[in-house]
Structure 1
């Protein structure tokens, strides 16, 4: 997430941004502050991460800008009770970015913060629970349950289950999927993602065509939100709605709590399926559009090889 952004030198601007960061900051102002380097979804994440830290500091009666090393360590400790290392690492990067931009000494560069993160990462590595993979069996069962329904919610969700699994979609790819990326022929739908073409199965194509007929007047976005009354809103899906769609699949299949699907379940399922069929990691990496083989290796159960790949890409921060 961290990018090369110029430091802010104008004191009037610094004061303006400092005031803005004491409340949920306007996205337009945040975009200005970060020199337009981030996408809309990244700006939303940055704002959410910063607000979480700022609210913690308010609760503890300490400053968030500039923050102390102790405040950051206590924040890490609190978040570690309910958050993964990757999320906390992102929070720390956001905190450091704001300190850098506004000319404050960065508390996240202190060795004690580095130790806290290292301990958390080591602990999580030993306690990690693998994401439950979404499989062909799950998809077939959901298709049986939803295929004959004429409810917009059922039609949309079934099409999403096919797309997320058969194309190994990431959340943002699902959110941003447009009609211009679809190739439609009689009883066949193909989806272009990152210059790759993915052909849906026969049942997947039928489910998608059925949804497209229902949602034909909803703009260029393929999958829109649906309100509690079953009305199509025309608004783009967000992370919360995608979470609910996947939780619904878990409920329809009566999965226990520890086996409920996440946004990575379809991608994990594809890795396992393709590894079992004999595809190598590079082929799987290409199919899932991963920037490195680290995560496919992890999902395939090759943890040592995965960790070696992660070490290549992990930023080595110089701790004070």
Structure 2
């Protein structure tokens, strides 16, 4: 702080901000401000109130350490937010900060890396008629096992693709959110709150009969009656233990078992697997790793024959919790849905992201792409 200046923290404003913000937004703000304060301390700068020069130098430093322009923009917004909350002059409105941020964007470009799409049949032209190929949701669903983790993963992936939910929205799905639909085999999913709907206006998504069956199978096997649908499944595997050291259980005859029972301290134990199902929902950060684990198991089982190991390693780097949302977005585009329909299905408030997700497909399916595909 500058000498002689005092910052008055108004508890009512802090409480109002927390009530109006999602837990994710609060965590992000806290993380950004801690990083800014640490940098200011290490460079002997004042973080609150910050000068325009300090903010500009900080943004430059973060960009120099590899932060993407989108992240740098978020750091600027967080610094602005804390100054607004505390009733301080916002240094980010200064022309110096704006010009420095523009220079960073010009130097580094503003294109963001996109999550690898998980499309239902993979990279195909006709979603309805073409056979699945490459990395595709249908094959991944078929390759999920019938044990508890496999049933949970099948239901999770199926619902994620059907609805295009973000990770935080997906883990919040509750059995109470499932509603009746006109199709007796399908269901509707009530979405009380989402990233673009912080005020809780609510939305509804469609659950296919495939997802309904997958949820029912998981629910029945897990014995869950209510609450969160997607939960942690802890697996405990116990190896077989022979009564006689060095010998397999099935090599000991019935007569030997009878004789040894009197002298051995421990009886033979068969191999077994036990499952522990959590009471709370999965963490949003676990969705991406679950998708990647499903893909690896499918590949190891030979279910993705047109992918090499190098292909797998390359694809896995781009797979995240957002991959199903991007995949559904692209499948809707290739199916001929217009932008308004895609925005409605995926609950977009702005056309910017759905257009960005479909940029590569638009080039392939556009006028030039159609012509060049015909003439070779």
8 Å CA contact retained: 1:249, 1:261? no
Q: Distance in 1 between matches of 2:107 and 2:161?
A: 31
Match of 1:21 in 2: none
Which whole-Å deviations, capped at 9, do the CAs of 1:221-253 have from their partners, x for residues lacking one? 222234575532222333322232233245445
Aligned match of 2:216: 209
Q: Give the conservation status (yes or no) of the 8 Å contact 1:30–1:43.
A: no
Q: Which residue of 1 aligns with 2:286?
A: 241
Indicate yes or no: 2:270 matched with 1:273. no
- Give the Cα separation in 2 of the matches to 1:88 and 1:72: 11
1:32 aligns with 2:40: no
Q: Is the 8 A contact 1:247 1:260 kept in 2?
A: no
Match for residue 51 of structure 2? 68
TM-score, normalised via structure 1 length: 0.74
SS of residue in 2 equivalent to 1:207: helix
Q: What SS is found at the alignment partner of 1:231? A: strand
Kindly state the Cα deviation for residue 136 of structure 1 after the two structures are TM-superposed. Answer: 1.1
CA–CA distance in 1 between the matches of 2:7 and 2:61? Answer: 34
Residue among 138, 162, 166 paired with 1:140 = 138
Structure 2: distance between partners of 1:169 and 1:35: 24
- CA distance 1:297–1:34, shift in 2 (3 Å): same
SS of the aligned residue for 1:296 comes to helix
Task: Indicate the residue corresponding to 2:208 in structure 1.
Answer: 200
Of residues 57, 64, 75, the one that matches 2:40 is 57
* Whole-Å separation in 2 of the counterparts to 1:122 and 1:159: 43
1:291, distance to aligned residue in structure 2 (A): 0.5
SS of 2:19's equivalent in the other structure is coil
Q: 1:266 to 1:120 in 2, by over 3 A?
A: farther
Whether contact under 8 Å (1:223, 1:236) holds in the other structure is: yes
Partner of 1:149: 146
In the other structure, the counterpart of 1:117 is 101
Partner residue in 2 for 1:296:
354
Q: State the shift of 1:283 in Å.
A: 0.6
Which residue does 1:309 correspond to in 2? Answer: none
Superposed, 1:167-182 pairs within 5 Å as: 167-182=163-178
Structure 2: stretches of 5+ with no match in the other structure: 1-5, 122-135, 192-201, 237-274, 300-308, 363-376
Higher relative contact order (CA 8 A, sep 6+): 2
Per-residue deviation, 1:50: 1.9
| SS of 1:221 mapped into structure 2 | coil
Q: How far apart in 2 are the matches of 1:47 and 1:214?
A: 40
Q: CA deviation at 1:33?
A: 6.3
C-alpha contact 2:186 2:207 (8 A) present in aligned 1: yes
Q: Equivalents in 1 of 2:173, 2:278: separation in Å?
A: 16
Give the number of the structure whose residues are more often helix, by fraction.
Answer: 1
Q: How far apart, CA to CA, are the structure 2 residues paired with 1:149 and 1:303?
A: 35
Partner in structure 2 of residue 93 of structure 1: 77
Deviation of residue 140 (structure 1)?
Answer: 1.7
8 Å CA contact retained: 2:231, 2:278: yes
- The superposition leaves residues 66-89 of structure 1 with CA deviations (integer Å, 9 ceiling, x where unpaired) of 223343233323433444333332
> Any gaps of 5 or more consecutive residues in structure 1?
1-10, 18-28, 305-320
Instruction: Find the structure with the greater CA-based Rg.
Output: 2
1:256 aligns with 2:313: yes
Report how far residue 182 of structure 1 moved.
0.9
Aligned Cα root-mean-square deviation (Å): 3.2
Is the 2:141–2:157 contact (alpha carbons within 8 Å) kept by the matching residues of 1?
Answer: no
User: Contact between 1:188 and 1:205, CA under 8 Å: does it hold in 2?
Assistant: yes
Q: How far 1:184 moved relative to its partner?
A: 6.5
